[in-house]
Chain A
């Protein structure tokens, strides 16, 4: 359609000129075309934040009653935009709006109601109360649905006033409306109010829930979403009821709108908590897989969302998606955020049956251009070696092949993951040590250096020139980062314990540096600890330093049960993109929990204390108290876990994260690997320091 040629009107204008234009035309201008053009220019300037326009307020209000809907709509837009700046002038528009709410054209009534309730000025809010009660019973469904949303708008303007009136009761009564669109609008409005109020609870009984499901088919896609969201307020009291409802919702999974699909997933997953019987659960899980995969043919943003939710759902219900790994292989042109998420899913879905295919695929990714992605691919290979014991050898071979390509960041990343593999499988793959050490000169990142130093220390007795290698690093000890210094300290002690003759000259020197010449308290403390340990009882020292380490796993990345439960109640929302405890990202979000009922299949995770969940890094590696049975072992574990120093986070949680960035903000959260990379600094700041945007 060629019609609108308004681009020329999209230009900065001056108030005086526009005022003149607005008032020109006079009687000759029958269709008010001059006025329309002037108003369009004003609207354009409004968009460009040309706030001089507010001076035209009286003139614009003057046009409001002209018999042209187009003009009226532009005036209303102006009013909504500027009323807060000039409330006293805005008041002049009030009579027009009040009149229009009684117009006999339903479109005009709805327009006026919609507009008046956008205006954040006390008089407007007050003037809406009576008319909205009338319009909630209007004989036109379009007006009634507008009235339903109007209550939520009023609630945003003035909570108290709404709570003190009977508006919410009236809104509740509208649930009996015969028109499905009205009913779903009422639900959307109620859920909106519920989200912003501590005092209001929303519960739906089985009969109502069942009725709501029955009108789903008669609703638009958006209305279906509102109804599905509201169904989360239904707490099943009986397994059979929950099952019936879930099965009736399941057909929605074939809807073409991904909001309907993902919100249906949310409700079905929620109901599954109340359904007894393995068979039913399995059958419902089977229904969830294909729609999630089908969303991968949608635009990339929706794909991304589907993938993030797949990561979440997989943790809750591992049977979902189990056989579909190939659909998550990356396409060359996928946006990076899709690729990285696919990589995470691939890792989760890899089993010993499909590992060969996955390894071939990961190797392919390791040749791509995007450094961040390549690193993640390499790291994933290392993690797979730890996850799937029988495939460890295969993974290591793949890693060594990559190392041979001599691309620096691949070598560094591979060094780090090989260190983890040694840690997981002690005394199994030492034959490759020489292969790793060969690239020692290419390493310049602290994490990779720390990793190779750990390897040297741990296997000091097997590496002929271990003292020489350490000495090379010690030469630049003072220039290294603390991470590397800690690793050097521990490695030197290990060297001394295993080969006292070679280490005896290095140890005193390093201990002296660490205790006397450093400002870092961790380094100093660790230095003193070793010093005393070695000088008190060398035998015990050996036992502690070279003692058995607690095992590491690749599964430690899982969300903690509380967070998992909460996120599963929020499938399809923004929080699932971040996969972090919701209050950390959206502090104002009203918490959701699984509510107890006789049908609930397990106890809900009972909050032990009402604070945020403990932000202990997961993984036994840094959680020493839990593993050692005897005091001695405990101490050994604690010491080792503490001083192994090789980036305890990486060691413990084995996450897929890129190594860059020093990892400082990562330690803050339990589930760092699932956090979006790019915005990490802002996010961490946002969560820690409150709002970055003070509005």
Chain B
């Protein structure tokens, strides 16, 4: 397992060096600095030299490095490094050079706790914060044996992620369904790939030890062996992914795969697809899922890029919102790549603002508020300087970012969230949906390719986003109330607990 953990800044200064085995010598810091930090040719996160392997991730302006001496479990190594980043964020707000330098002693203390002989131990921030704190005051509490026992039971218990003595006057839970929609579209308008990476983040402010049950409109995958056409995967042929995709019933979604927070009882999900768990206190990522069928693409983009000789490139980019006119997306940013030798640009837009960003080689077109069903156009021209050494322009793809509330590309809906606790309190639950651009790329091909712009992936299924629905299965009949569709601009607002009742973006379930 791990022999040591090292942290460097970009200059190669060693900020943290903690060895967990005697084979991790100080010299290794120099070797990493020379072989990786000052080597511009590095193309891999893993470097094995002799019997030593350095695995590193870059985060903000620091390198986090794990040293191993054997054929270690590489997945564990990287998961641990990312966990370290997450812990840093949880403790210091963010983990960068400044945070490391400001808290280096605490980081050593944490490392000593979360690794023993290089084996990761309990890394739940909630538990760790019970006895490793930035104030040093609480360290005193841990000095009393009874409190310590409580901590140790917690750190080694079956529900290591939750304290038992949590109390709230008002019991509430917030569910955020956040979807990153990925699109890769060819210059001819063919959807090469469209899928959704979803994430369900929960903030639980619930007393005691609540048992939660969570229901989605997830269509049970029926493995009938019948093959039906899978529109997203026409090249994939027959077999696995298509055979199980009997056409999704209206209003239900086929999840390709799910991954859960460790609080979720995986056995139960495997057996009857019930998501049941005892949540950690506060915010956590309950699950991730992937959907590849019937992906609703919020935006259609038609780019036409024309190179006129070697001195000019003309752009005509049309973008259309493909969602209900009652919704609107915010922070829509379209990045249109320009050649490296662009001297100046001119842009005209029917909406929003476009600006040339030379350092990124992009024309950046921003539309702050994009109503459903509307369509906007940008016309631009890039004038190029002549260069003696003409380098081929690789024509990077055009990319989009946006966020769209009350819309899920996969069509996923939360049906219910039930909370059972022995004191039988009532709780209020809120749910919010958001779709963002993951990697939303449209290739700009050669002119001849660009003319035909056909979507394979038309809107196959329209999903009514906010609607009243009853969960007939359950007697308590927790209801999903209609959230209003005209949305509060401030998508962050429901993070503020007090502001939530005004937050029209949340539904009560």
CA of A682 to CA of B44 in the docked complex: distance in angstroms? 14
Residue-wise, chain A 90-119 has the 8 Å CB interface mask toward B (1 for contact) of 000000000000001111101000100010
Which B residue's beta carbon lies closest to that of A67?
B143
Q: Is the CB of B259 within 8 A of A261?
A: yes
Cβ distance A86 to chain B, nearest Cβ, rounded Å: 15
**B1 interface residue (CB < 8 Å to A):** yes
Determine which of A47, A114, A588 lies in contact with B17 in the assembled complex, contact meaning CB atoms within 8 Å.
A47
CB-defined contacts of B103 to chain A, threshold 8 Å: 3-4, 6
Bound Cα distance from A182 to B70, whole angstroms: 24
Which residues of A from 185 to 203 have beta carbons under 8 Å from B?
Answer: 185, 188, 192, 195
Residue of A nearest to B191 (CB): A326
Note all chain A residues with C-beta closer than 8 A to B251: none
A263 proximity list for chain B (CB < 8 A): 73, 75-76
| Given known A323-B240, A353-B235, contact A6–B102 (CB-CB < 8 A) | yes
**Do most interface residues of chain B lie in helix, strand or loop, or is the interface mixed?**
mixed
Q: Is the interface of A mostly helix, strand, loop or mixed?
A: helix
Asked if A664 is at the interface of the complex by the 8 Å CB criterion, the answer is no
| Given A252-B266, A337-B43, CB of A195 within 8 Å of CB of B260 | no
Assess whether A601 is interfacial by the CB under 8 Å rule.
no
Provide the residues of chain A in CB contact with B288, threshold 8 Å.
256, 294, 297
Q: Do the beta carbons of A182 and B139 come within 8 Å of each other?
A: no
Complex CA–CA separation, A468 to B92 (angstroms): 73
Interface centre among A180, A185, A574 (most CB of B within 10 A): A574
What mask results when residues 562 to 594 of chain A are scored 1 for a CB within 8 Å of chain B, else 0?
A: 000000001011111110001001111100000
Residues of A within 8 A of B77 (CB): 574
A131 to chain B, nearest CB (A): 16
CB distance from A695 to the nearest CB of B (A): 5
Q: How far is the CA of A585 from the CA of B51 in the complex (A)?
A: 8
Q: A122 CB to closest chain B CB, in angstroms?
A: 13
Given A261-B259, A678-B41, A682-B49, CB of A305 within 8 Å of CB of B152: no
Task: Let me know if A6 and B48 touch, CB within 8 A.
Answer: no
Q: When chains A and B are docked, how far (Å) is the Cα of A588 from the Cα of B439?
A: 42
**Known contacts A255-B260, A574-B53, A693-B49; is-contact A105 B74 (Cβ 8 Å):** no
Contact B71 A585 (CB under 8 A): yes
Q: Which residue of chain A lies nearest to B438 when distances are taken between CB atoms in the complex?
A: A297
Q: CB-CB < 8 A to B71: which residues of A?
A: 570, 573-575, 582, 585-586, 589
Kindly specify which of B116-124, B298-306, B423-431 makes contact with the partner chain. B116-124
Contact A332 B441 (CB under 8 A): yes
Give the distance in Å from the alpha carbon of A195 to the alpha carbon of B94 in the complex: 37
Considering residues A69, A114, A302, A361, which has the most beta carbons from chain B within 10 angstroms of its beta carbon? A69
Residue of A nearest to B22 (CB): A120
Return the CB mask of B191-216 against A: 1 if under 8 Å, else 0.
01101010000000000000000000
Across the interface, B78 reaches (CB within 8 A) one of A301, A570, A575, A586, namely: A301
Task: Name the B residues within 8 Å of A616 (CB-CB).
Answer: none
Given A4-B134, A294-B259, CB of A305 within 8 Å of CB of B78? yes
Q: Contact check: which of A47, A84, A294, A329 meets B257 at CB < 8 Å?
A: A294
User: What separation, in Å, do the CA atoms of A242 and B60 have in the docked complex?
Assistant: 45
What distance in Å separates the Cβ of A325 from its nearest Cβ neighbour in chain B? 6
Q: How far, in whole Å, are A217 and B265 apart by their CA atoms in the complex? A: 7
CA distance A530 to B290 in the complex (A): 62
Whole-angstrom distance between the Cβ of B198 and the nearest chain A Cβ: 9
13 contacts between A and B (CB under 8 A): A4-B102, A149-B116, A181-B122, A192-B1, A254-B269, A263-B75, A291-B259, A329-B192, A367-B394, A574-B74, A676-B46, A678-B41, A693-B52
Give the interface of A toward B (CB within 8 A): 1, 3-7, 10, 36, 40, 43-44, 47-49, 67-70, 73-74, 76-77, 80-81, 84, 104-108, 110, 114, 118, 120, 140-143, 145-146, 149, 152-153, 156-157, 179-182, 185, 188, 192, 195, 217-222, 225-226, 229, 250-252, 254-259, 261-263, 286, 289-291, 293-294, 297, 299-302, 304-305, 319, 322-327, 329, 331-333, 335-337, 351, 353-354, 356-358, 360-361, 364, 367-369, 407, 570, 572-578, 582, 585-589, 676-679, 682-683, 686, 690-693, 695
> Residues of B at under 8 Å CB distance from A?
1, 13-17, 19-23, 25-29, 31, 41-53, 55, 57, 68-79, 82, 91-93, 98, 101-106, 108-109, 112, 116-117, 119-124, 131, 134-136, 139-140, 142-145, 148-149, 151-153, 155-158, 160, 180, 182, 184, 186, 192-193, 195, 197, 232-242, 256-262, 265-267, 269-270, 285, 287-288, 290, 292, 392, 394-397, 399, 439, 441, 443
The 3 closest A-B pairs by CB, nearest first: A142-B152, A290-B257, A691-B50
